[in-house]
């Protein structure tokens, strides 16, 4: 039943934005949280296109982090601008918006356990980040609710070997197994996890791209050398 709903939403969508708008309208989500908001583009789209939303928590430190080696980690003054942009883009829904400025660990407990119908994880995609976000967010979701997320990258070297690896995949799959939940791999590097005490662990890959949930191949030194050489070639290309 659920798989059918997810597949219908995929068939009616050309982007991650369209997919989540279709999905959230279908499940009539009321209470949402987004972890990692940046300039507020995703929040603005959902608030504009999903009438069922009553409360939208925005979790983001909007500050430079000294323990986050990823390209989206900008200087404080840049993040101040991003926060202003987020506010102006979502002012039309200010009565629904709750801005929680801080890292997940600093602010997530302002959300009551079991309060959320849906949360979207798009913050720190390193192993540290995704493990903190899933573990701290899961109790906030009601039974029958959902967690979606971005950067379910097929390669851990999503942002080149200069940066900390991205481990949303496969960690989210391991987490689903730990909590006995069903998790879907979706197009556009998205994932969807169902928190449903009546379901059990299942990894449903609707893309066919995520067959190997181990890390041995990706972390094979020969493979890493190949990735590094390719990056050099890209770097030197005029
Ligand atoms: C890729 S951007 C989010 C994009 C946004 N969701 C969208 O679709 O428009 C990542 C954001 O995660 C935030 N972030 C990084 N580490 C975080 C943490 N530990 N807790 C919460 N947010 C974090 C960053 O400040 C940044 O704004």
CA of 123 to the centre of ligand 1 (A): 3
Q: Are 172 and 149 in contact (CB under 8 A)?
A: yes
What mean pLDDT is predicted for residues 86-101?
A: 98
Q: Which CATH class name applies to 2-236?
A: alpha beta
How large a percentage of the chain has pLDDT more than 90? 91
How large a percentage of the chain has pLDDT more than 70? 97
Tell me how far apart the terminal alpha carbons of the chain are, to the nearest angstrom. Answer: 51
**108: CB partners within 8 A, 6+ apart:** 59, 100, 136, 137, 140
pLDDT in tens, 72-88: 999 999 999 999 999 99
Pocket test for ligand 1, best of 47, 57, 60, 118 (most atoms within 8 A of CB): 60
Give the span between the Cα atoms of 28 and 106, in whole angstroms: 29
pLDDT in tens, 109-144: 999 999 999 999 999 999 999 999 999 999 999 999
Cα-trace Rg, the chain = 18
pLDDT > 80? residue 238:
no
Q: Are 125 and 104 in contact (CB under 8 A)?
A: no
Altogether, the residues listed in the chain come to a count of: 238
Boundaries of every domain in the chain: 2-236
């Amino acid at each position: 039943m659920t798989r059918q709903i997810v597949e219908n939403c995929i068939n009616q969508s050309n982007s991650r934005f369209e997919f989540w708008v279709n999905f959230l309208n279908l499940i009539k989500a009321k209470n949402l949280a987004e972890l990692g908001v940046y300039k507020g583009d995703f929040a603005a789209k959902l608030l504009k296109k999903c009438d069922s939303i009553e409360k939208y928590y925005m979790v983001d430190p909007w500050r430079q982090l000294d323990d986050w080696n990823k390209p989206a980690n900008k200087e404080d003054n840049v993040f101040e601008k991003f926060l202003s942009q987020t506010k102006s883009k979502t002012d039309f829904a200010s009565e629904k918006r709750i801005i929680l400025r801080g890292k997940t660990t600093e602010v997530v407990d302002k959300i009551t356990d079991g309060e959320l119908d849906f949360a979207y994880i798009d913050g720190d995609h390193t192993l540290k980040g995704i493990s903190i976000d899933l573990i701290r967010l899961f109790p906030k979701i009601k039974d029958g609710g959902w967690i979606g997320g971005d950067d379910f990258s097929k390669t851990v070297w999503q942002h080149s070997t200069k940066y900390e690896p991205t481990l949303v995949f496969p960690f989210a799959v391991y987490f689903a197994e730990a909590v006995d939940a069903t998790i879907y791999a979706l197009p556009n590097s998205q994932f969807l996890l169902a928190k449903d005490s009546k379901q059990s662990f299942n990894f449903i890959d609707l893309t066919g791209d995520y067959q190997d949930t181990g890390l041995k191949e990706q972390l094979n030194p020969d493979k890493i050398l190949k990735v590094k050489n390719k990056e050099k070639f890209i770097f030197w290309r005029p």
